[in-house]
Structure 1
Amino acid sequence: MHLGQWLNSLGLSFVSPNLSIRTYAICILVGIVAATVLTNERLKARGAESGVVLDVALWAVPLGIIGARIFHVVTHPDDYFGSAEKMLHILFIWEGGIAIFGSLIGGAIGVYIGCRMTGLRFWTFADALAPGLLLAQAFGRFGN
């Protein structure tokens, strides 16, 4: 059993026995927080207002999650298309099925929108984000 399998076997139950928060989700959340903190520090060093990264993250994180799910569904069509019942499972993200490539595409769209809304230059933000993005990927891989 490798580290990712072991971590996934540690499913933690909160609130009720029917709600299980998987270790993989916790690793992804830790990665998002780490990337946000690191990007904030790098943007502050470039003269940006403290906390502006949160305004961008409000766009990037949800669109990244949506993009990750869409990419998974498109690359695994037999799992989701063919019957109405199967198609409903497109929405069941808690059953698993996200892809990093889709997350990068959706997240980049979210960053672009967030930068437009805050007046930040996209490439300046992307430069500040790059190390944090790698850090987030590393945390996410622990749970995979």
Structure 2
Amino acid sequence: MYTLAIQPLNPVAFELGPITVYWYGLLIGFGAFLGYLLANREMKRRGLPDDMLADLLLYALPAAIVGARLYYVIFRWDQFADNPISVLYIWEGGIAIHGALIGSFLTAFIFAKKRGVSFWKLADITAPSILLGQAIGRWGNFMNQEVYGGEVSRSFLEGLFLPEFIINQMFIDGAYYHPTFLYESIWNLLGVALLLYLRRVNLRQGEIFLSYLIYYSIGRFVIEGIRTDYLLVFGFLRTAQVLSVILIVGGIFFLIYRRKMGLANKRYLDDEPKPKTNKKKA
């Protein structure tokens, strides 16, 4: 039978002696690198020190990794109880983006306070980069054959005009599944374009970041309803959907509250460098 001949892609990118490098970590790292380039360019345009983003990432990235793993482990402890050391095996998958966001945002808030920089300004600058990193990082889930939805037919996947390698990778344990990793990756890439556009609209400071929270959470709520590898809270509620609702409501609340209280008078482009003009002396 044709389907029996389908082999999953190798999750190992390459090996260097005793060191094994997985596509999962490689793709997450690549997403973080592209996000860094995008944010660093904008930080320089906004007149912030050249090394500020590198200093922030020095603290935020480890906090994001720890937060992502802890979040997942807390809601899936039964998976690690018999072998607690496996908590450290993050290359096998099992991290949660919401945990990463919580860890990195708390770190960024403390960092901004210590550096005397507006947290909202930093958050607005880095929001598109975070979403870009999430979009690329989902392909790490693809290589691990995780973050997929309910069972579908091969003809359904072919009807989405997907390339053969994606369709074949969605053949797991004898059946085909929704490529929810792809749905979220596309949603996030569209979100990057939206946030970059909102920069030119010149929203008030903090509102690009809040727009990110709202936009991402809307997509995550919908896609989470299709996934089969969800985390549960209280034994029956999908954790990511609960948190998505909180972030949507919270994001809208802060948009309104900060405007009403006069906490969002500055706009994103207020400190944009003026273009140089060549004036000829008379």
Q: Which letter maps to 1:14? A: E
Partner residue in 2 for 1:50: 50
Partner residue in 2 for 1:128: 125
Partner residue in 2 for 1:87: 84
Q: Which letter maps to 2:27? A: C
Partner residue in 1 for 2:93: 96
Q: Which letter maps to 1:131? A: P
What SS does the corresponding residue of 1:14 show, helix, strand or coil? strand
Alignment RMSD, CA only? 1.9
> Higher helix fraction: Structure 1 or Structure 2?
1
Q: Which letter maps to 2:92? A: E
Are 1:14 and 2:15 counterparts?
yes
- Contact 2:25/2:91, CA 8 A, preserved across alignment: no
Superposed CA offset, 1:53-109 (max 9, x none) = 01111111000000010011011111122x4xx222222323331111111111112
Distance between the aligned counterparts of 1:88 and 1:62, measured in 2?
Answer: 19
> Higher strand fraction: Structure 1 or Structure 2?
2
Distance between the aligned counterparts of 1:131 and 1:96, measured in 2?
Answer: 24
Q: Which letter maps to 1:127? A: D
Q: TM-score, normalised by structure 1?
A: 0.84
Q: TM-score, normalised by structure 2?
A: 0.45
- Contact 2:22/2:91, CA 8 A, preserved across alignment: no
- Contact 1:61/1:110, CA 8 A, preserved across alignment: no
Distance between the aligned counterparts of 1:137 and 1:93, measured in 2?
Answer: 17
Partner residue in 1 for 2:230: none
Partner residue in 2 for 1:60: 60
Larger RCO (alpha carbons 8 Å, 6+ apart):
1
What SS does the corresponding residue of 2:16 show, helix, strand or coil? coil
Q: Which letter maps to 2:15? A: F
Distance between the aligned counterparts of 1:79 and 1:98, measured in 2?
Answer: 13
Partner residue in 1 for 2:109: 112
- Contact 1:55/1:118, CA 8 A, preserved across alignment: no
Q: Which runs of 5+ in 2 are unaligned?
A: 142-282
Distance between the aligned counterparts of 2:52 and 2:26, measured in 1?
Answer: 24
Partner residue in 1 for 2:157: none
- Contact 1:69/1:97, CA 8 A, preserved across alignment: yes
Q: Note the C-alpha offset of 1:124.
A: 0.5
Q: Which letter maps to 1:15? A: L
Q: Note the C-alpha offset of 1:126.
A: 0.3
1:63 to 1:97, Cα distance in 2 relative to 1, 3 A: same
Q: Which runs of 5+ in 1 are unaligned?
A: none
Partner residue in 1 for 2:260: none
Distance between the aligned counterparts of 1:20 and 1:44, measured in 2?
Answer: 36
What SS does the corresponding residue of 1:20 show, helix, strand or coil? strand
Q: Which letter maps to 2:114? A: M
Q: Note the C-alpha offset of 1:10.
A: 4.7
Structure ID, larger Rg = 2
